[in-house]
Amino acid sequence: MYIGHAGVALGAKRFAPSVTLAALIFAAYLPDWVDAALCVTGKHHNAQMLSHSVPAALVLAVLAGATQLRRADRGAFFIIAATVISHVLLDYITGIKPTWPGGPLVGLQIYSLPIVDFAVEAAVIVAGWLLYKQAVPASTGRWNSPATMLVALLFMQAAVDVQRLLAPSLNKC
């Protein structure tokens, strides 16, 4: 999943109003941040196991959730942790990811069907956006309105899927 993770972060805001949207977006993409860091450092031969497997997701979820404990907000801990875990679960739909060391690779690999990928990711984005709209006050500005955000996210996802149509073999790392 690409932009759909932002939809999860938006939806999580409805259940954790005290957590900043930036923190939720960071949590939603945390496995990808770890994967990118491993790629940049040349440790990418096992990056997916260290970033997208079930054990890695659980460790990352606890670490990310722990950032909220200093505020004595247990609810925020669980929302942040669930947001991290959602990343791996959603990636099992869109890609093929490791389960655990020595375990199978699983996933539906809808990345290979960019139109289907767009439909699935757009559904996640719209669902998250609908929840987000309930969590924030109505905006009157044209450029900071939730509607503008929705259009921008859907446009970004469309751009990703067009790229996948044009260059399906382009690797991330």
> 80 pLDDT exceeds 70?
yes
Answer whether residue 173 is part of any domain: no
Beta strands (DSSP E) in 21-166 are 97-98, 105-106
pTM over 0.85: yes
Answer whether residue 171 is part of any domain: no
* Straight-line distance from the first to the last Cα atom of the chain, in angstroms, rounded to the nearest whole number: 16
Q: Which domain holds residue 96?
A: 4-166
The pLDDT tens digits of the residues spanning 140-154 come to 566 567 888 999 999
Residue 106 pairs with which residues in a beta bridge?
97
Answer whether residue 74 is part of any domain: yes
Answer whether residue 138 is part of any domain: yes
- Could you give the number of structural domains in the chain? 1
- At 69 the pLDDT is 82
Of the candidate ranges 53-57, 72-76, 151-155, 162-166, the one whose mean pLDDT is the lowest: 72-76
The pLDDT tens digits of the residues spanning 94-143 come to 999 999 988 999 999 999 999 999 999 999 999 999 999 988 877 656 65
Spatial CB neighbours of 14, under 8 Å, sequence gap ≥ 6: 131, 132, 134, 135
Residue entry with tokens 């993409």: 29
Answer whether residue 33 is part of any domain: yes
CA 58 – CA 53 distance, rounded (Å): 9
